[in-house]
Amino acid sequence: MLRTFTAGTSDERTLYRALGGRAVYVKRLLPVRLPDTCASCRFNNDTDCEEGYYGVRLYLTDQGEYMVGVCIQRMDLCVPVAELQKSGIVEEVQVFKDAEVRRLTSQYGAAA
């Protein structure tokens, strides 16, 4: 059995070896929230937030504009790709990911 985490996201996977050596991954979503974006969200509770922060997602609008989002339930949080750098999303995600790397390394040790 091998557990893997993607630091700064809700992704956790456990690898099992089935009969015949076949790899079987079981995915679990962890209750991860971005500290600023999710703090005042009406969905930020154990029943309404379906996925937590899983990662940055790219969407294409009906008008052909690419948008970046951090939540599958809050499309109002999406920003046009051209505005991503000044939106604060990049900084929040990077700071959060760095903190999660430190926390996971402290809790589970360095990755092999």
pLDDT band at 34 (very low <50, low <70, confident <90, very high): very high
49: left (phi over 0), alpha (psi -120 to 50) or beta: beta
The pLDDT score that the predictor gives to residue 112 is 44
pLDDT tens digits, 65-108:
999 999 999 999 999 999 999 999 999 999 999 998 998 889 88
pLDDT band at 111 (very low <50, low <70, confident <90, very high): low
- Give CA–CA dist 74/14, Å, rounded: 29
